[in-house]
Amino acid sequence: MMGVLLGIAIVTCVVLGAACRTQAARARASEDRARELWAEVEAMKGCMDAMIDAFNTDGGGEYRELRVSANWLPLGTAVLAYARGGNGSGFVQPWFPRESALQLVELMPKRLTFDSVKNVVRVATKDKGLLEVHPDKITIDGEAAEAYAIGDGWCWEAI
């Protein structure tokens, strides 16, 4: 009987040892895969940062008056805005005077609201939060003007 118990104990140790070695190998492989995934994430982050930098470049120079539109606005909509340069993608980062900001609020009531007391445009974000866009001072034809950078990073098209 003792021999049988000893045999069972040895087999159990062998099986458990193999299982432990398998788990350890899986853990090492998992750690290696995690490192690979992290490297991929870092590479994608670098790519996204470069794209954002390229998109947000103002091209230098003076602000110019233009009209912008976007595919989420009614067809034929043209909103007065100001922008400098371009980013080579066909899109611009517009700055909207107050009247244009109010026009956008009317066109996008589910996404934008205007607080006249605080003089801010509130943008509803995808995570149900609100982003407050305060007016900034920009220079147009040598004159200081207040404008809102509504939809920074959105795909605004100069028309």
Contacts of 158 (CB under 8 A, 6+ apart): 66, 67, 68, 83, 86, 90, 91, 92
Gap between the Cα atoms of 153 and 71, Å rounded:
14
Local confidence band at 11 (pLDDT 50, 70, 90 cut-offs): low
Q: Is pLDDT above 90 for 81?
A: yes
Q: How confident is the model at residue 48 (pLDDT cuts 50, 70, 90)?
A: low
Helices (H), 57-150: 98-107
Give pLDDT, residue 97.
Answer: 97
Three-class DSSP category at 108? coil
Q: CA 1 → CA 7, 8, 13, 50, 65, distances in Å?
A: 10, 11, 18, 73, 96
Q: Convert the pLDDT of each residue in 84-112 to its tens digit.
A: 865 556 688 999 999 999 999 999 999 99
Residue 56: the pLDDT is 47
